[in-house]
Amino acid sequence: MTTFHVLGFPRVGPNRELKFSQERYWRGEVTEAELLDVAKSLRETNWKNQAAANADYVAVGDFTFYDHILDLQVATGAIPARFGFDSQNLTLAQYFQLARGNKDQFAIEMTKWFDTNYHYLVPEFHKNTVFKANAKHYVQQLQEAQALGLKAKPTIVGPVSFLYLGKEKGQEAFNRLDLLPKLLPVYVEILNELVKAGAEWIQIDEPALAVDLSQEWVDAVKASYETLSKAVNAKLLLATYFGSVADHADLLKALPVAGLHIDLVRAPEQLAAFENYDKVLSAGVIDGRNIWCANLNKVLDTLEPLKAKLGDRLWIAPSCSLLHTPYDLSVEKELDAELASWLAFTLQKVQELNVLKTALNEGRPAVATELKASADAAQARASSARIHRAEVAKRLAELPANADQRQSPFEKRIEAQQAWLNLPLLPTTTIGSFPQTLEIRQARAAFKKGALSLEDYTAAMKKEIAHVVKVQEELDIDIPVHGEAERNDMVEYFGELLDGYAFTKFGWVQSYGSRCVKPPIIYGDVVRPEPMTVSWSSYAQTLTKRPMKGMLTGPVTMLQWSFVRNDIPRSEVCKQIGLALNDEVRDLEKAGIKVIQIDEPAIREGLPLRRADWDNYLAWATEAFRLTSYGIEDSTQIHTHMCYSEFNDILPAIAAMDADVITIETSRSDMELLDAFVKFKYPNDIGPGVYDIHSPRVPTEAEIEHLLRKALEVIPAKRLWVNPDCGLKTRAWPETTAALKVMVDVAKKLRAELNA
C-alpha cells in the first residue's frame, strides 16, 4: 500500500480565523483562552481535512501562532537572551513579544523563507548560546491529534537548517555551526519526548539542502543524522524541498534515517538519483507552491514505475508544506467556472493525492472518473483560447534583436534629458505613493462595491491628486508624482487592468505572523487592453509646470508577487508583461509624461536558490525590464526603484537594467550599499534613500546630511538624486510633509555648497 502524508498545512485557517483572533487578542479584545480555543479548533479542522482526504498521517507541530522557526527557538531554548524570558516557561504574551518587539526590545528580525514570500524569524545565536529542550509545542499537538483518533506525524525543522537560517550575534566572532554538538542533544530530547508520546514517524525538514552548502554544512548533515538516528527510537523522515538535492544523493542515501522526501515538482529530474533508494521515498508530486491542478495521469506515469521498484516504500505527498497555497477553492464563487476548473488550493490538492493513492493501490480504473476529469481539465487548459493569444506570441517572436536596448547609451540620453528637464544638482523626488488616508481607502472601497459612481470616484481621486501636487509644489520638489491614491496595491492595481490576470476573493497565503497576501493569478498571455495610468498622470501634469513622473510596476515584480502559470517558462511570462508595460510607457510618452518610474522592488527576491542559476535569471529579468522601454525616445527618462533587500551582490545586474535613474533603499543600513559602489562604479544616476519611511519619526537635518555626504564620497554629484527610501503610503500627512521638508532643505544646502 502506498502511504500518503502531508508535510504541513496552512495555519491561519480557511477564513483567516487565526489572524483575526490574534489581532483581537493583541488589542486586548479577547482573552488568551479564547485565542487558544480558536487555534485548537483550527488544528482540528486541518487534521480532519487531511483525514477526510484519506491521508495516512496528518501533520502535527506545523501549526504555529506566529512562525515555526520561532517555535523552534522556544523548543530549543534559543530565544534571544536580550528579552530576559525563560523559554521553559514562556507565556503566550512573551511569545508574541519575541515576534513583535516590546517597549525595551526590538522584535526578532524577519526574513524570507528560502524563495517563498513567507517570512520566518531569524534565530540569534551567540557563541555561548545555551540550548534547553522544551518539546511542549510538538507533544501537545501530537496528543491532540491522537485524541481525535488520528495517526499523526510530527514535523520539525532539523538542526542543520535551524543553524543555517540563524545569524551569529555578539562581540566575539564564531561559527554558528560550532553550536551543533550542543544543539543535537536537545534535539534528541525533543524527539524522544515525541517517541514517548507515541510518535512512530517524525518528519525532520532540512530545506537548507536545496541551497548551495559548503562542505562543513554538508558534513554537519551526516553527523546530525547519524547521531539522531542512533539516539531516537522513531523512524525519521528527512524532508527536503524547494529544489534538487541530487548533488547530495550519495550522502543522503547512506544516512541511517528511515526515509527521505524529495520535491519532484521543483526538481523532477532528481528522481533518477533516488529511484533506487532502499528505504522509504516520499515523492513530493503535488505542487505546494502554486495553485494549478496536477495532470494526474501524468503524475501516475511517474509514480507507477516508481511503485514497481519501491513497493510499499513509496510514499506520496505535496512537494512541500501547503502553507504556501490558499485554503479552499470551493469558496471562490466569483471565479469563472473554466478558470476554476484549472485550479487546486490546499483542500483540492489533498484530494488529488487521495486520487493518486487510490490509483496506486487499486489501479487507475478505481478512480477513472477523477482521472478523466483531470485529463479533461489539462486538455482544456492547454488549448484554451483565453490562454494562448496568437498576437502575443507573434509580437515576442518578431521583436528585433535590439528591442531591449535604448536608442543611445546613457551618456547621450542623459544629455537629451537634461536639455529639457533642466534639473539642478541633487534633484529631489519621491518614490510615488503619498499617504493613503482613510478617505482614500473608503472612496476606493465604496467604488468597488458600487456605492460610489465612477464620476464621484474619479472626482475624489482628482481632488487627492491636486492636493498631493500642491504639497509638492510648496515643498519645492523637483520631480513631483501624482501620489498613487487610486492604487490599493502596486501589483493588484495593474493586474486588474491587464488581460491574462485573475483575482480570487479569499485566496490568502501567510506572509508573516498574522499578515496574509492574496497573490493574483497569471493564467494566460498578458495583454494591456487600454491605457492604465495615462489619465491620472496627465491630469496631474495639468496642475504643474514641473515634469510629472509617471509610475508603473515592473514586469519582474508583477511576476514575483503573483501565482504564475506553469505551462510556459517564467521568463516568457515576464517578457510578455514587459511588452504590455511598454504599451503603457509609450502612451505616457505620447501624452507628454516623459519621466517614468518602473518599480522593481522584487527583483532581488526572485533570485534562484542556487548561485549557478543566478545569471540566467538575471539575464531574462533585466531583459524583461528593458523591454518596457522599447522604442522610446532618448529624452524620456526612465527611473526604477528597489527596496526590501540588500542589492550589493547584484549591482552589475542592476546596472544592466539600464534605467536612467535608480532610487534605492539604503537609509536603514546607514548606506551600507554605498560601500559596494567603491568597488563597482554604478554608471547611471542614483538616488539612495535618505530617510526611512517605515517609521513615523521625522529625520533630522543632520541625519540626512550625514547620509548625503556619505553618498557624495562615492557617487559623483551630478549623478546623485535625493529621495526617501520608499513610497509614503503607510505614513500620515504631518510626518510626511515634515520629513520631506527636511529632505529638501538639506538638498538645497548641499546644492549651494556644490555650486559655490
Q: Known catalytic residues?
A: 694
Of 97, 433, 538, 667, the one binding ligand GLN (CB under 6 A) is 433
Q: Taking the chain, what is the end-to-end CA distance rounded to the nearest angstrom? A: 83
Annotated binding residues = 16-19, 112, 117, 431-433, 484, 515-516, 561, 599, 605, 641, 643, 665, 726
Q: Name the residue nearer to ligand GLN (CB basis): 644 or 680.
A: 644
Q: Name the residue nearer to ligand GLN (CB basis): 218 or 475.
A: 475
Of 426, 551, 654, 673, the one binding ligand GLN (CB under 6 A) is 551
180 binds Zn ion (CB under 5 A): no
Phi, psi of 219 (to 5 degrees): -60, -35
Name which of Zn ion, ligand GLN, none residue 490 binds, using a CB cut-off of 5 to 8 Å depending on partner kind. ligand GLN
Asked if 280 and 260 touch (Cβ cutoff 8 Å), the reply is yes
Residue window 711-740: x/- pattern of binding to Zn ion, with contact defined by CB under 5 A: ---------------x--------------
Asked if 533 and 541 touch (Cβ cutoff 8 Å), the reply is no
Of 8, 318, 524, 727, the one binding ligand GLN (CB under 6 A) is 727
Backbone CA torsion sign across 375, 505, 21, 108: positive
Question: Please, what is the minimum distance in Å from the beta carbon of residue 432 to ligand GLN?
Answer: 3
Question: Please, what is the minimum distance in Å from the beta carbon of residue 443 to Zn ion?
Answer: 24
Residue window 598-637: x/- pattern of binding to ligand GLN, with contact defined by CB under 6 A: -x-x------------------------------------
DSSP 664: E
578 binds ligand GLN (CB under 6 A): no
- Contact positions with ligand GLN (CB under 6 A) in 635-674: 641, 643
List the beta bridge partners of residue 317. Answer: 284
Q: Which three cell numbers stand for residue 605?
A: 527576491
Q: Name the residue nearer to ligand GLN (CB basis): 403 or 643.
A: 643
Phi, psi of 292 (to 5 degrees): -90, 145
Going from the C-alpha of 661 to that of each of 109, 135, 630, the distances in angstroms are 31, 52, 17
Q: Name the residue nearer to Zn ion (CB basis): 224 or 553.
A: 553
Count of positions on this chain that bind Zn ion (CB under 5 A): 3
551 binds Zn ion (CB under 5 A): no
Q: What is the C-alpha separation between 388 and 382, in angstroms, rounded?
A: 9
Q: What is the C-alpha separation between 641 and 659, in angstroms, rounded?
A: 10
> Which window, 167-175, 215-223, 425-433, 510-518, contacts ligand GLN (CB under 6 A)?
425-433
Q: What is the C-alpha separation between 77 and 82, in angstroms, rounded?
A: 13
Backbone CA torsion sign across 343, 348, 354, 357: positive
- The residue whose grid cell reads 534605467 is 659
Residue window 643-662: x/- pattern of binding to Zn ion, with contact defined by CB under 5 A: x-------------------
> Which window, 12-20, 259-267, 319-327, 427-435, contacts ligand GLN (CB under 6 A)?
427-435
Torsion of CA 558, 562, 566, 570, to 10 degrees: 30
Phi, psi of 411 (to 5 degrees): -55, -35
DSSP 286: E
Q: What is the CA radius of gyration of the chain?
A: 27
Note the residue count of the chain: 756
Name which of Zn ion, ligand GLN, none residue 194 binds, using a CB cut-off of 5 to 8 Å depending on partner kind. none
Question: Please, what is the minimum distance in Å from the beta carbon of residue 642 to ligand GLN?
Answer: 7
User: Which residues contact Zn ion (rule: CB under 5 A)?
Assistant: 601, 643, 726
User: Which residues contact ligand GLN (rule: CB under 6 A)?
Assistant: 431-433, 484, 490, 551, 599, 601, 641, 643, 726-727, 729
